[in-house]
Structure 1
Amino acid sequence: MGKHVVCKVSELPPGERKIVTLERRSIGIFNIENSYYALKNVCPHYKAPLCKGVVTGMTLPSKPKEFNWGREGEILRCPWHGWEFDIKTGKSIFDPHKCFVKSYEVTVEEESESVETFEVTVELGAVVVHI
């Protein structure tokens, strides 16, 4: 898969998401506290548009009669059947070793004002552009 610029940092504030199509794949990009994550926009259960689901938190391990809520903004719930996935890893909450969605690397890079250029050579009288 190639490298694709999807938006400026200012266009995706913390807690927001953006769904894009890259190389014929629907992918959701999420900003969690200024760290960026990308997941394939397909739930493995029934192929629902996963990244359109609710972003929430989850209950954490706790002592009896205690209720600990955490990881707010890190859990994605499928809009069709409620399956939950960790946005940071793509792993499901109920079975992280067997059920997951594809995740993609996301980087933040400095914007360049330069124009894209390509190497041009002359070979036996023909002009050739190398992309």
Structure 2
Amino acid sequence: MRVKVAEPDALSEGGKLIVKVKEMEIGLFRVGGRYYAWRNVCPHAAAPVCLGAVRGTRLPSAVYDYQYGMDNEVLRCPWHGWEFDLKSGRHLAAGSQAKLRGFPVEADDTGVYVVVGDGS
């Protein structure tokens, strides 16, 4: 099922919007000109993860030297600080299998739509 969740220009780059689809809260994010939709439930402790801050992360480039990367591509859970890649939904900790539950997003000149299955 395809559900309209926003008007075409509702989100600017780096923006987010919490929407309700089939009684589920879903966070809609615009990253790199594309839209991503994640269920608003952290896999760690069921926190409302999409209410967290969107920022970048520091990637090690050499001993005691860091550079910023992934600007506006990292969602930080407001309860325990778990960080997720907004493009893939994956937890950023090395070796972690944790991942946000995502939904396909379609956008055109009529709006932004989230696609959810009938059993979702």
TM-score, normalization: structure 2? 0.85
How many residues matched? Answer: 111
For 1:10-29, what aligned pairs fall within 5 Å after superposition? 10-29=9-28
Structure-2 residue corresponding to 1:127: none
The answer as to whether partners of 2:8 and 2:110 remain within 8 angstroms in 1 is no
Structure-1 residue corresponding to 2:79: 80
Q: 1:66 to 1:14 in 2, by over 3 A?
A: same
Structure-1 residue corresponding to 2:90: 91
**4+ runs deviating over 4 angstroms:** none
* Pairwise CA RMSD: 1.6
Which consecutive unaligned segments of at least 5 residues does structure 2 have?
112-120
- Does 2:67 align with 1:68? yes
Q: Which has the higher strand share?
A: 2
How far, CA to CA, are the matches of 2:28 and 2:75 in structure 1?
A: 12
* Equivalent AA in structure 2 for residue 16 of structure 1: G
Q: 1:107 to 1:96 in 2, by over 3 A?
A: farther
Identity value in percent: 37
Which consecutive unaligned segments of at least 5 residues does structure 1 have?
113-131
How far, CA to CA, are the matches of 1:26 and 1:93 in structure 2?
A: 23
Paired residue secondary structure (1:80): coil
Q: Greater RCO between the two (CA within 8 Å, min separation 6)?
A: 2
Higher-Rg structure is 1
The answer as to whether partners of 2:14 and 2:29 remain within 8 angstroms in 1 is yes
The answer as to whether partners of 2:8 and 2:109 remain within 8 angstroms in 1 is no
Structure-2 residue corresponding to 1:5: 4
